């Protein structure tokens, strides 16, 4: 589904109090699932960064004599059809899946924010053109768009970033634009304008900081989205390429062994499941915490 | 929405029929990984199940045993070949009826081949008629008829070739040579073969329904000239996902599971008590190979090519990736092909390969790239990954470049693609189908081998028109040695068996001689 | 209202033309040759060249684009290169199947998402809140091809309750609808939850509470009606996006829908078919958005007046 998670995000009021951070942290901490999610994400990041240290085996070593071994004390989750340790592959897969989650989300956030603020603040023809562009991106079937990009540029990690950023920026731009429109009417912006502050400064110094809370929520919710997208691309064969491994690729390659060695496909699926769930909890927690309308 | 409801009702009924085991009629349920697009064989080069069952050929290649075949009379009862090997006269069987009741005549045969060459048809399979006199003129639009096609009388057709071609009879038995009916096909125009209403052949089965991306249903042709088939119906379902196919088979919704779609399941089926006796297997007259593009460095150097041949542990791949179901091959021809004889073995020797690389000026190893296609079965990319690991011992640093199929064929056609692995199985039982395909002047370019060897080109051309079988086979043998041993232009891997698992009710399932997935189901039976 | 709809449709015309033009250019940049692909392993250079010319695929880019545009304006989207059939027919035949799947999936997502959203709003920050939100998010957390495979394994192979794959009746749609619908239930649940929380802060709810009405009554009688407005309006958009999101579900469950066609089209570099299916999907999304806005204005009088202003 490409209905933007932002549709449910309320427009936050202007950040004025310095205690906001503390309030947010407190509100966030009240939400136990969000905390659990955050812990999971942090552990995952550590695992990903230190994959070579924590992995019991070499992820690329081909040992055809040890194909599809069941779980054992040597291979906790068994081995795949190349005799590679499934657990190690998953730990290394965490690196790629996280990068695939984070980098394209950042790029689409950057582009989307820039376009959104520009469109909302300047208005007129700029607004019209940017919004029609965004309309196009949103109306275009996303999976096809991503496939076209992958086919054109070739299947590798960097091009996945481009494909996913292209799919994602328009949603961000729309949300940011509507917030910018609301902010534009606020007194402190009008005051700045009256003071003769340049448009660029207003956009960067005054509007942007006020969009940040929304961006944080959008970011945390678009990471799991991107991870899922990559898995779809992997299923269609245009995602990360072996012998590298993303979780999506591990499932789509492992599923043919469901009968002989179910763990090869099930374990990376569980990894995606938990990670995506964790990010969603964190995102929901952040939104609840950052959104003043949610406070009693 | 109303239509939708109707459609669902109709398909609901279909599903009742489909699922009810008590139904008395004999229905075979098989699958296809992709929609076959059409029954018109002139418009396809790789979906032959419909043509093989809906149409007949003048001659048929009958499977006589595992991996062996014989050319037997089909629609042609008998034929003569002139002394010079140029004129083929076919005498048609009389009284053969098309599904619409029309009688087959020599004019239909002439029409069929003329239609293939008619530029308005935009046919893809024209190369089977390359040797017919006047074919090129017709294709180019320079002539309105084909001079080499002549109707002598109602049941006699004469085909004249522009030069002798030893494999012509075998070609006439290939699916592309299916015979159509003039009146019907002309009326159907470009819709021919796309729907049941616009399909008409003489074959044992009649196309009854065609739902794009879903299924085709064939029913028995009770008036088939050899006698009605044993099966009443064949349901061909389009199942694109191989795990889904597997589950369909295990839940008894499909009768035949083609292990090509899940090579990795070989040990499971062979080791499973329920299925191990239900496996039908036969050799595939086909070759797994690595292609080498000599236009791309470092493969311009024969020593590097030789080293690559030696750096691959084929035995291990056959054993581990294909579970030993096949045999190593060292030539251009696989077992089962006319003229086949074991060739000089290629040795697995990473040490020597390393020396060869050093000799060629790469003492520290050399980087090479393998191309692979994203949508192909994982066995290809698995093989590349294994080779990546194996060839590292000899000093090859293998990079793998994945692309999608359309890009792959475009690059390959342009001669610019990196080395890749593929298989080829015989369309017709003649060495020409291998040598010409890969090492003729046009084949070596369009497949991006770029093995520019005028002597090989000349030998292949010469062999095509030779009429003495023994001398011809000897020529092919020498040519094979030259290509594999001297020039190292080809890396033969192995020929594999093709295995199927069938439900116990399926009787008389015979793996076709060439080991294809596409076969004729005329003799098959279903018995509870 | 009519003015508004007309204006929206007019504004979307450049969007449609833009999309077709971009697609055309992109498809010319993508490496690939539809005719070589038709012939696959049997490719011969002469035949490829001849058939390419016969299909007019070697015409200049703009010639082909204008041929497509003028055809499209007359309702003719051309002939598929790969399938050799009319693109319009192909799409119209596949569309009801996808629509049926998308509608069933949408129902599943509401059945899971709306109650989950309500419960978690009512019991905000409780275990129930987390549990129901978690359950509705579970669907979006599993790759469809993974959850589909597990479901097929359990419900078709082990329990023998449902057919594995195919499209021959209602029982065949159950699994794909659950897989697809569950994957969008999280969005519905979130929307329901936040919208209900928002409504419950309003004065009339406080008044109702102050009058001593039971909480269940307050919610079912007063809050829900208003809280569900955004949920209802998003439905049109949701169905449109399910239509184009059904690609993988269709492939796994063997449903002959438009998603399969569009994927086939791009893999085959089948320009007419791809153009046709993208155009079709785009129009659906635009219409879905329009319907959503109109629904919103009907349900919420405040917006209606704004829209009238906007149209002028």
Q: What is the pLDDT of residues A32-76, one digit of tens each?
A: 888 999 999 999 999 999 999 988 899 988 888 888 899 998 899
Mean pLDDT (whole number) for C286-293:
84
Q: Would you say residue B9 has pLDDT above 60?
A: no
- The reply to whether residue C84 touches residue B194, judged by beta carbons under 8 angstroms, is yes
Q: Is residue A290 part of a domain?
A: no
Lowest-pLDDT choice from A257-266, B2-11, C261-270: B2-11
Q: Would you say residue B305 has pLDDT above 90?
A: yes
Q: Would you say residue C309 has pLDDT above 80?
A: no
Mean pLDDT (whole number) for C255-268:
90
Q: Would you say residue B121 has pLDDT above 80?
A: yes
Question: What stretch of H or E contains B210?
Answer: strand B205-211
Please give the C-alpha separations between residue A59 and each of A155, A242, A269, C204, C246, in angstroms, as whole numbers.
21, 11, 18, 61, 34
pLDDT value, residue B5 = 42
Lowest-pLDDT choice from B113-127, B448-462, C51-65: C51-65
Which is higher by pLDDT, C283 or B109?
A: B109
Provide the β-strand partners of residue B215: B211, B237
Q: Provide ipTM, 2 decimals.
A: 0.88
Q: Is residue A151 part of a domain?
A: yes
Give me B56's structure tokens: 């007949």
- Residues C203, C207, C210, C212, Cα dihedral to 10°: -130
Instruction: Give per-residue pLDDT as tens, B319-356.
Output: 989 999 999 999 999 999 999 999 999 999 999 999 99
pLDDT tier at B290, thresholds 50, 70, 90: very high
CA distance A139 to chain B (A): 24
- How far apart, in whole angstroms, are the C-alpha atoms of residue C61 and residue C24? 8
- Which of C125, C191, C195 is the closest to A30 by Cβ? C125
Chain B residue numbers with beta carbons less than 8 Å from the beta carbon of A81 are 264, 382
* Closest residue on chain C to A288 (Cα): C194
- The reply to whether residue B124 touches residue C42, judged by beta carbons under 8 angstroms, is yes
- Cβ atoms of B214 and B93 within 8 Å: the answer is no
Chain A residue numbers with beta carbons less than 8 Å from the beta carbon of B374 are 155, 236-238
- Which of A132, A135, A258 is the closest to C153 by Cβ? A258
DSSP classification of residue C48: H
Provide the β-strand partners of residue B91: B78, B156
pLDDT value, residue C301 = 66
- Which of A3, A248, A251 is the closest to C238 by Cβ? A3
Mean pLDDT (whole number) for A77-81:
91
- How far apart, in whole angstroms, are the C-alpha atoms of residue B425 and residue B435? 12
Q: What are phi and psi of B112, to 5 degrees?
A: -55, -50
Q: Is residue A20 part of a domain?
A: no
Tell me the torsion sign for CA atoms C91, C92, C98, C102: positive
Q: Is residue A159 part of a domain?
A: yes
Task: Compute how many other C-beta atoms are within 10 angstroms of the C-beta atom of residue A73.
Answer: 5
- The reply to whether residue B8 touches residue C260, judged by beta carbons under 8 angstroms, is no
pLDDT value, residue A8 = 39
Q: Would you say residue B235 has pLDDT above 70?
A: yes
- The reply to whether residue C15 touches residue A135, judged by beta carbons under 8 angstroms, is yes
pLDDT value, residue B10 = 45
A29 in C contact zone (CB under 8 Å): no
CATH code of residue A229 = 1.10.3720.10
- Name residues 281-310 of chain C within 8 A of A (Cβ): 281-282, 285-286
Which of A59, A237, A266 to mutate to probe the B interface, most B CBs <10 Å? A237
Tell me the torsion sign for CA atoms C137, C138, C144, C148: negative
- The reply to whether residue B400 touches residue A241, judged by beta carbons under 8 angstroms, is yes
Chain A residue numbers with beta carbons less than 8 Å from the beta carbon of C248 are 143, 232, 235-236
Instruction: Give per-residue pLDDT as tens, A21-39.
Output: 787 788 888 888 889 999 9
A10 in C contact zone (CB under 8 Å): yes
- Which of B14, B190, B413 is the closest to C36 by Cβ? B413
* Closest residue on chain B to C47 (Cα): B124
pLDDT value, residue B195 = 96
Mean pLDDT (whole number) for B44-63:
95
pLDDT value, residue A296 = 42
Instruction: Give per-residue pLDDT as tens, B209-228.
Output: 999 999 999 999 999 999 99
Chains touching chain C through at least 3 C-beta pairs below 8 angstroms are A, B
- How far apart, in whole angstroms, are the C-alpha atoms of residue B189 and residue B183? 10
A:C CB pairs within 8 Å: 158
CA distance A191 to chain C (A): 27
pLDDT value, residue A10 = 42
pLDDT value, residue A259 = 86
- Which of C134, C153, C187 is the closest to A277 by Cβ? C134
Q: Buried b vs exposed e over A37-67: b needs ≥16 C-beta within 10 Å?
A: bbebbeebeebbeebeeebebebbebebebb
- Name residues 78-107 of chain C within 8 A of B (Cβ): 82-85, 90, 93-94, 96, 99-100
- Cβ atoms of B401 and B371 within 8 Å: the answer is yes
Q: For the residues of A30-99, what is the DSSP string, one character each? A: H-HHHHHHHHHHHHHHHHHHTHHHH-SS-TT---GGGTTPPP-SSSTT-B-TTS-BHHHHHHHHHHHHHH
Give me A81's structure tokens: 């059809």
Please report, rounded to a whole number, the percentage of residues in chain B having pLDDT higher than 90.
Answer: 84
C64 in B contact zone (CB under 8 Å): no
B403 in A contact zone (CB under 8 Å): yes
Please report, rounded to a whole number, the percentage of residues in chain A having pLDDT higher than 70.
Answer: 91
pLDDT value, residue A18 = 53
Q: Is residue A208 part of a domain?
A: yes
pLDDT value, residue B275 = 94
- The reply to whether residue A272 touches residue C281, judged by beta carbons under 8 angstroms, is no
- Residues A149, A154, A160, A166, Cα dihedral to 10°: -20
Query: What is the average pLDDT value for chain B, to the nearest integer?
Result: 92
pLDDT value, residue C233 = 79
Mean pLDDT (whole number) for B136-154:
95
Q: Is residue A64 part of a domain?
A: no
Mean pLDDT (whole number) for C7-36:
86
Instruction: Give per-residue pLDDT as tens, A220-256.
Output: 989 999 999 999 998 888 888 878 888 999 998 898 8
Q: Please, which residues have CB within 8 angstroms of residue B342's CB and are 6 or more apart in sequence? A: B330, B331
B:C CB pairs within 8 Å: 164
pLDDT value, residue C304 = 55
- The reply to whether residue B385 touches residue A82, judged by beta carbons under 8 angstroms, is yes
CA A125 to chain centre: 31
- Which of A62, A236, A259 is the closest to B386 by Cβ? A62
- The reply to whether residue A64 touches residue B386, judged by beta carbons under 8 angstroms, is yes
CA distance C276 to chain A (A): 12
B70 in C contact zone (CB under 8 Å): no
C54 in B contact zone (CB under 8 Å): yes
Q: Would you say residue B288 has pLDDT above 60?
A: yes
Number of domains comprising chain A: 1
- How far apart, in whole angstroms, are the C-alpha atoms of residue C154 and residue C148? 10
- The reply to whether residue C18 touches residue A136, judged by beta carbons under 8 angstroms, is yes
CA distance B354 to chain C (A): 33
pLDDT tier at C237, thresholds 50, 70, 90: confident
B142 in A contact zone (CB under 8 Å): no
Instruction: Give per-residue pLDDT as tens, A89-121.
Output: 999 999 999 999 999 999 999 999 999 999 999
Instruction: Give per-residue pLDDT as tens, B387-425.
Output: 999 999 999 999 998 888 999 999 999 999 999 999 999
- The reply to whether residue C244 touches residue A231, judged by beta carbons under 8 angstroms, is no
- The reply to whether residue B243 touches residue C39, judged by beta carbons under 8 angstroms, is no
- How far apart, in whole angstroms, are the C-alpha atoms of residue A44 and residue A36? 12
pLDDT tier at C308, thresholds 50, 70, 90: low
Q: Where are the beta strands (DSSP E) in B14-173?
A: 27-32, 59-65, 68-73, 76-81, 87-92, 149-153, 156-160
Q: Please, which residues have CB within 8 angstroms of residue A205's CB and are 6 or more apart in sequence? A: A197
Q: Is residue A65 part of a domain?
A: no
Q: Would you say residue C3 has pLDDT above 90?
A: no
DSSP classification of residue B251: T
- Which of B243, B374, B385 is the closest to A256 by Cβ? B243
Chain A residue numbers with beta carbons less than 8 Å from the beta carbon of B264 are 81, 256-257
pLDDT value, residue B524 = 94
* Closest residue on chain C to B236 (Cα): C166
- The reply to whether residue C144 touches residue A232, judged by beta carbons under 8 angstroms, is yes
Give me B507's structure tokens: 């009787």
- The reply to whether residue C93 touches residue B212, judged by beta carbons under 8 angstroms, is yes
Mean pLDDT (whole number) for B76-81:
96
Q: How far apart are the first and last CA of chain A?
A: 31
Which of B257, B272, B410 to mutate to probe the C interface, most C CBs <10 Å? B410
* Closest residue on chain A to B246 (Cα): A256
Give me B377's structure tokens: 């079965």
Q: Which domain holds residue A164?
A: 30-53+77-262
Provide the β-strand partners of residue A85: A79
CA distance B117 to chain A (A): 34
Mean pLDDT (whole number) for C213-239:
80
Chain C residue numbers with beta carbons less than 8 Å from the beta carbon of B410 are 31-33, 36-37
Q: Is residue A9 part of a domain?
A: no
């Amino acid at each position: 589904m490409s209905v933007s998670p932002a549709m449910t995000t309320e427009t936050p009021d202007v950040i004025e109090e310095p205690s906001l951070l503390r309030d947010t942290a407190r509100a966030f901490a009240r939400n136990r699932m969000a905390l659990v999610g955050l812990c999971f994400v942090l552990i995952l990041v550590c695992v990903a960064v230190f994959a070579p240290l924590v992995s019991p085996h070499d992820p690329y070593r081909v040992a055809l004599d040890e194909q599809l071994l069941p779980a054992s004390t040597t291979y906790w989750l068994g081995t795949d059809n190349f005799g590679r340790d499934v657990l190690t592959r998953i730990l290394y897969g965490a690196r790629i899946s996280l990068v695939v989650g984070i980098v394209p989300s950042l790029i689409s956030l950057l582009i989307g924010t820039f376009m959104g603020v520009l469109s909302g603040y300047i208005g007129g023809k700029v607004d019209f053109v940017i919004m029609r562009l965004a309309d196009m991106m949103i109306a275009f079937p996303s999976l096809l768009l991503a496939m076209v990009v992958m086919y054109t540029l070739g299947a590798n990690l960097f091009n996945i970033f481009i494909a996913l950023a292209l799919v994602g920026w328009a949603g961000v731009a729309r949300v940011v634009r509507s917030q910018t429109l609301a902010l534009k009417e606020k007194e402190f912006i009008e005051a700045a304008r009256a003071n003769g502050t340049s448009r660029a400064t207003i956009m960067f110094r005054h509007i942007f900081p006020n969009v940040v809370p929304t961006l944080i929520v959008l970011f945390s919710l678009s990471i799991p989205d991107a991870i899922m997208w990559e898995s779809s691309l992997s299923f269609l064969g245009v995602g990360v390429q072996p012998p590298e491994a993303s979780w999506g690729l591990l499932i789509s390659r492992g599923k043919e062994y469901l009968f002989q060695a179910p763990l090869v496909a099930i374990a990376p699926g569980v990894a995606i499941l938990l990670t995506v769930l964790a990010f969603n909890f964190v995102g929901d927690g952040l939104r609840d915490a950052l959104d003043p309308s949610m406070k009693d | 929405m109303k239509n939708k409801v109707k459609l669902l009702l109709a398909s609901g009924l279909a599903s009742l029929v489909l699922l009810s085991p008590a139904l008395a009629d004999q229905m075979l349920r098989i699958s296809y990984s992709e929609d076959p697009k059409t029954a018109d064989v002139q418009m396809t080069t790789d979906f032959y199940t419909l043509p093989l069952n809906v149409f007949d050929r003048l001659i048929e290649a009958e499977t006589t045993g595992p991996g062996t075949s014989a050319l037997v009379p089909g629609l042609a009862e008998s034929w003569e070949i002139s002394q010079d090997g140029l004129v083929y006269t076919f005498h048609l069987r009389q009284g053969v009826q098309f599904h619409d009741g029309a009688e087959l005549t020599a004019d239909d045969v002439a029409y069929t081949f003329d239609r293939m060459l008619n530029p308005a048809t935009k046919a893809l399979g024209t190369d089977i008629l390359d040797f017919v006199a006047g074919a090129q003129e017709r294709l180019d639009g320079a002539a309105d008829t084909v001079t080499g096609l002549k109707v002598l009388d109602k049941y006699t057709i004469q085909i004249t070739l522009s030069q002798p071609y030893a494999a012509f009879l075998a070609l006439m038995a290939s699916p592309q040579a299916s015979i159509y009916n003039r009146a019907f096909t002309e009326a159907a125009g470009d819709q021919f073969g796309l729907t049941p209403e616009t399909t008409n052949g003489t074959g044992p089965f009649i196309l009854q329904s065609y739902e794009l991306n879903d299924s085709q249903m064939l029913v028995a042709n009770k008036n088939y000239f050899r006698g009605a088939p044993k099966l009443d119906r064949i349901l061909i379902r389009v199942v694109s996902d191989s795990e889904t196919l597997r589950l369909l088979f295990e839940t008894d919704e499909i009768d035949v599971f083609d292990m090509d779609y899940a090579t990795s399941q070989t040990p499971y089926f062979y080791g499973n008590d329920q299925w191990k006796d239900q496996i039908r297997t036969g050799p595939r007259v086909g070759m797994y190979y690595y292609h080498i593009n000599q236009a791309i460095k470092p493969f311009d150097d024969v020593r590097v090519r030789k080293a690559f041949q030696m750096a691959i542990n084929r035995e291990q791949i056959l054993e581990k990736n294909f579970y030993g179901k096949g045999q190593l091959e060292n030539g251009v021809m696989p077992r089962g092909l006319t003229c086949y004889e074991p060739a000089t073995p290629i040795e697995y020797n990473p040490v020597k390969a390393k020396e060869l690389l050093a000799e060629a000026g790469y003492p520290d190893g050399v980087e090479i790239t393998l191309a692979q296609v994203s949508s192909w079965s994982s066995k290809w990319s698995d093989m590349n990954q294994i080779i990546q690991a194996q060839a590292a011992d000899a000093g090859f640093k293998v990079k793998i470049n994945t692309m999608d199929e359309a890009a792959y064929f475009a690059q390959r056609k342009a001669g610019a693609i990196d080395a890749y692995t593929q298989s080829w199985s015989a369309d017709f039982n003649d060495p020409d189908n291998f040598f010409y395909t890969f090492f003729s002047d046009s084949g070596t370019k369009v497949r991006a081998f770029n093995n520019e060897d005028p002597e090989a080109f000349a030998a292949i051309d010469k062999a095509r028109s030779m009429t003495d079988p023994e001398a011809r086979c000897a020529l092919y043998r020498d040519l094979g040695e030259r290509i594999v041993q001297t020039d190292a232009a080809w890396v033969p891997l192995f020929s594999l068996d093709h295995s199927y698992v069938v439900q116990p009710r399926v009787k008389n399932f015979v793996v076709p001689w060439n080991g294809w997935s596409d076969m004729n189901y005329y003799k098959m039976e279903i018995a509870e | 209202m009519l003015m508004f709809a007309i204006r929206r449709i007019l504004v979307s015309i450049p969007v449609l033309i833009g999309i077709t033009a971009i697609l055309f250019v992109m498809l010319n940049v993508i490496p690939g040759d539809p005719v070589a692909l038709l012939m696959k392993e049997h490719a011969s250079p002469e035949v490829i060249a001849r058939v390419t010319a016969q299909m007019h695929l070697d015409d200049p880019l703009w010639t082909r684009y204008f041929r497509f545009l003028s055809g499209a304006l007359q309702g003719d989207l051309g002939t598929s290169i790969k399938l050799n059939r009319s693109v319009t027919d192909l799409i119209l035949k596949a569309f009801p199947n996808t629509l049926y799947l998308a509608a069933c999936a949408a129902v599943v997502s509401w059945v899971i998402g709306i109650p989950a959203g309500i419960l978690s709003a009512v019991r905000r920050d409780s275990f129930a809140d987390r549990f129901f939100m978690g359950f509705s998010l579970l669907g979006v957390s599993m790759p469809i091809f993974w959850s589909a495979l597990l479901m097929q394994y359990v419900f078709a192979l082990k329990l023998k309750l449902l057919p594995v794959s195919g499209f021959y009746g209602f029982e065949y749609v159950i699994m794909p609808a659950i897989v697809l619908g569950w994957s969008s239930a999280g969005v519905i649940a979130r929307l329901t939850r936040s919208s209900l929380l928002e409504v419950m802060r309003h004065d009339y709810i406080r008044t109702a509470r102050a009058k001593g009405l039971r909480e269940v009554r307050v919610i079912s009688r007063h809050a829900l009606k208003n809280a569900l407005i955004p949920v209802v309006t998003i439905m049109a958009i949701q169905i449109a996006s399910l239509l184009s999101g059904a690609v993988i579900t269709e492939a796994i469950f063997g449903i002959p829908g438009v998603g399969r066609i569009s994927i086939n089209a791009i893999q085959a570099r089948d320009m007419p078919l791809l153009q046709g299916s993208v155009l079709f999907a785009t129009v659906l999304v635009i219409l879905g958005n329009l319907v959503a806005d109109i629904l919103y204005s009907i349900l919420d009088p405040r917006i209606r007046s704004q829209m009238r202003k906007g149209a002028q």
